Structure 1
Amino acid sequence: MALSASLLELQAEASCPVCLDLLRDPVTLNCGHNCCGPCLRRRWEGLGDVLPCPVCQHHCPSRDVRKNTQLSVLTGLLWQLAPARSQASRQEEAALCGQHQLALGLFCEEDLELLCVQCAASPHHQGHLLTPVQQAAARHREKLQSSLRPLAQQLEEAQRGLVVQVCKTLALKDAKTQRRMEVQRAAAQLRHSLQMELEALQVRALRVATRHCRRVLRRRDRLLGHGSALQRLLDVVTRKSLQTDPELLTGLGDVHLQWGALQTPVAPPTPASTAQEEALSLPPRHVGLPDIIDKFQEDLTLDPDTAHPHVRVSADRKSAVFASKGTQPGSTPAPGAFSSRLAVLGSPGFGAGRHFWQVDVWGSGAWSLGVCGPSFLRRAPPAPSPRRGCWQYEGPSLEDAPRARVRAGVFLDCDLGEVSFYNLSTGVHLCTLRGTFTEMMVPYFCVEPSALSVAMTLVKGDAKAP
């Protein structure tokens, strides 16, 4: 009895979790579970890259599983021992009826119960279909095994649905993160734009107030002068009226000339409402980078007379190629051309107001954009700086992604003395440089000498990336 029980336990441990029979050509998965090689191949048929363990659903990275040779030998021995079990052992292991202590040799198909001969003869099971245990077990085993494939298919569909759901969840998380980043960028742009607009309004209001104060002072000086002249004329007329007739008539022409000159009225003072209207006539508020582009975008061109000999400007003056070697065929540098840096200037220049332009940059090398004044030395070797009259942003090198195209934006506010730079490909404000612009500011385009080849194109459009 103990030997039979041990044999049954060993057979249970050596059974396939798919077909529930002794293992055939056993294989071992990464998670440590074993199953029949043919059963595993049928189970994974049509699953693509999703390869779960039939027991724990652990994902297997590959269909190439390791064959367990030692377990194959053991199950072969069990296959040989199974048919040799004696009829006595089977009867000894047969389950007994708890009521009658007889072997349960029959199976009721109506109640799905194991019966002994006495239970089968009871009135409760009269007319029921009764079959021997072995026959019933074979039939129901066949039914169970036939349901394995549909169940496996349902499990596969459930697993695929789970994978789809997980992918959707990850996509939603990514979309949420992307949306949050977009909102944060928009908020940062809004804060920056509002700050710039507030500073611009303050500067303009101060200038309006200063201008009107100067006008009032000039009118006051004119009124004081006019009053002094009237007082002097009044003194002359008073003295003349007290003189004798000959004295009164002497020099009377000069008195009439002074009187006529003072008849020109002094311009009346400007009403307070005029100053208020002028102060209120400031440009409207512009919120966000798209509004800045819509309101202040300029149509620039490149000035070939300022281009370094290694900078080739296109015929339409919208593009330039900066190369570290080679010059324009047959070209002679103009007197105003750069000689110390691979640079070119844009046109027109700006002395007042606010202006915006866009530049597409691509190639291989480091680049920079900005503005400079006419006094900026184009043949001096020192690097550009605000102290030398040049305000520039040095962009990241394009060497890591030579085919990448970056769209940059430059916003010049001459009244505030600011120049701001934007990465229009990502919508990010890069930096703002401040200074005192006492002369005309001209767009500035430059490439480092170590760059292999960089191209720039002036574009005009909305804030969308190229």
Structure 2
Amino acid sequence: MADSLEQNLCCSLCARIYCEPVTLDCAHNFCRACIEGLWSTTEGNVSCPICGQALPKRELNTNQLLATLVTSLGLLGRRPSPPLTGQTCPSHWGQPLLFCTKDLKLVCPSCMPQGLEGRHSLMPTEEGYAFCQEKLENSAAFLVKRMEEYRHAEISQSSRMSETLELGETLKENIQAQFLQMHQFLWEQEVTLSERLTKESQGLVQALGTNLKLVAKRNISADKLITEIRSLIETEDQSRLLMETKNLLQRCDLHREPVLQPPEVSVGEFNGPLQYMAWKRMISVVSPAPAPLTLDPDTASPCLMLSKDHTMVKRRTKLRQVPESGKRFTFCAAVLATEGFGSGRHYWEVDVETSASWIIGAVNDSVERSEDVPLTPSNGFWTVRLWNDKVHWCQDSLGASQLCTDTRPDRVGIFLDYERGQLSFYDARDMSHLCTFFEHFAEKLYPFAFPLSGLETAENELIRLFHLRL
């Protein structure tokens, strides 16, 4: 009963038990200090803060009945809470009587908002004290939780930093090892070609030296023969001329043989397209090189047609009659390669230049082939898709696709590192990276192709497994 009585004896402005209660002409009651403080900032006519009735005169009539009741309440041990000491309102220099939960500040009667709606956020300072304590406790609890998250994040980020540095060193070593192999190959090609050129040049110089000696010897012989011929011509001994002419002519005929010419340097071998020749030979040390895959007709959907060499596939306008096979795709127009990979590093390329829409990649050997399931990693499908001339990939179980590139590739390269759990896709024109799946592969993976061409363009849209021919 005392609590109910106290609620009815509280000022609607300060939410405290009336202190010197006064009554307005509209019959609403307030503390004298509260209403005077509220009106002190208003010039001219004032109004009741509860009902809004205009009050031309600022007459405040003491409500003796309320004063008596408040006194009686005091006898029950429930006196009005004293105002805060040592605190003044910075705007009006009044003594704060209430706490505003909306603005989180103390307010004096002059600061109190007009109307009932604004006063819902006001409470006595004792309640405001408890309110602020609760707010601060909640904030402290939030910060403690956040600090724990920061601690875990700090540990995680430090660990990730170490792992990233270690991974960077490992990848750097891998880059150096692969290019060292290529550098070694090119160095060996350079040395071999240089040694062959040196050997051929030295052989040529030796042949030229031999020819030079022979030419000098023949020159001396010819000069001596000329002297003998002129001597015989000038002789008056006819018998001698007639007898020696045959011998001199025979000796002269020996000089009719052409001068020996040494072989020419093989310019075409040593001054040809050396870089291209080395590049073609380098395929022997490139690992992995593009694999010459073929398509497995036993897995091809009845909606598909394969070329005779099983390297190309396209959609059919009509279903074909095919033997029953547990390996065959029937829920989608897909086909697998004949060869699967359960270990090692492999690379293959798929030519999609003439196809307007497709899905390609790699799948588990055990993927569902007769039921309609999402082509997601959780179902054993790691693929990329061309749709509206943009390449997308799906890396979660929900099937949400993400953009790889807004450039349409003519050929897609696919790299598998089985032990590292990496499946990467590239634009094979410039080997720019499209996307990479990371997965712990537990079974054999097979290259996968799914033409999405419409029936009206099916005959002209092909997907072809690229075979490198050098």
TM over 0.5: no
Larger Rg: 2
TM-score by length of 2: 0.32
